[in-house]
Amino acid sequence: MASRVLNQAALLREVRRLRRTGKRIVTTNGSFDLLHIGHVRFLQRASKLGDALIVLLNSDSSIRKLKGPTRPILSQRDRAEMLAALRGVDYVTIFNGDTPLLLLRRIKPDIHAKGGSWKPERIAAEKKLVESWGGKLRLFPMVGGHSTTKLIEAIRKRG
């Protein structure tokens, strides 16, 4: 599965190849720390929106900045490999920023899918950017209340 985990330069070469063959590109982004059924169901739905699904994965350092010093639970390398092993996920790349905006600008996906809980200000920026080249933002609700935070809490309670 590691061959589907690409650095950003290799991913952008692959995006150019996909574009030349007329493929519809879908992106999503997130931490995907402690992969759970909500993640899997969301990624399955997102993959049906186009021909290639690219997951933009928050790096370990960006997660620590966003979620605190105890996160992530799993390393970016492990998270990337698990995501790449899922049917429907074509490529995974890791980014260091707080948001995926710079990478989205370079990929220019046809559709950018968001799942789970959304921060309105982040959605607004991603929506505006993706729509600037004619792309669309698709929002999916959280699946059955599944979240990494709830999973971590449940594990701690069972401790």
CATH number, domain with residue 12:
3.40.50.620
pLDDT at site 67: 87
pLDDT in tens, 62-75: 999 988 998 899 99
Q: How many CA atoms lie within 13 A of 153 on its CB side?
A: 5
pLDDT at site 143: 66
pLDDT in tens, 20-39: 999 999 999 999 988 888 89
For the sheet containing 136-140, what is the strand order? 91-95, 52-58, 25-30, 111-115, 136-140
pLDDT at site 127: 95
For the entire predicted model, the pTM comes to: 0.90
pLDDT at site 34: 84
Domain count, the chain: 1
Q: Which residues are catalytic?
A: 65, 67
Per-residue pLDDT band for 152 (boundaries 50, 70, 90) equals: low
pLDDT (mean) for 124-140: 96
pLDDT at residue 129 tops 70: yes
pLDDT at site 1: 47
pLDDT (mean) for 126-140: 96
Using alpha carbons, select from 74, 137, 61 the residue that is nearest to residue 104. Answer: 137
Q: Could you tell me the residue range of the domain that residue 91 belongs to?
A: 2-158
pLDDT at site 157: 79
Distances (CA, A) of 128 to 104, 123, 124: 11, 8, 6
pLDDT in tens, 77-125: 999 999 999 999 999 999 999 899 999 999 999 999 998 777 777 789 9
Of residues 151 and 121, more confidence is placed in: 121
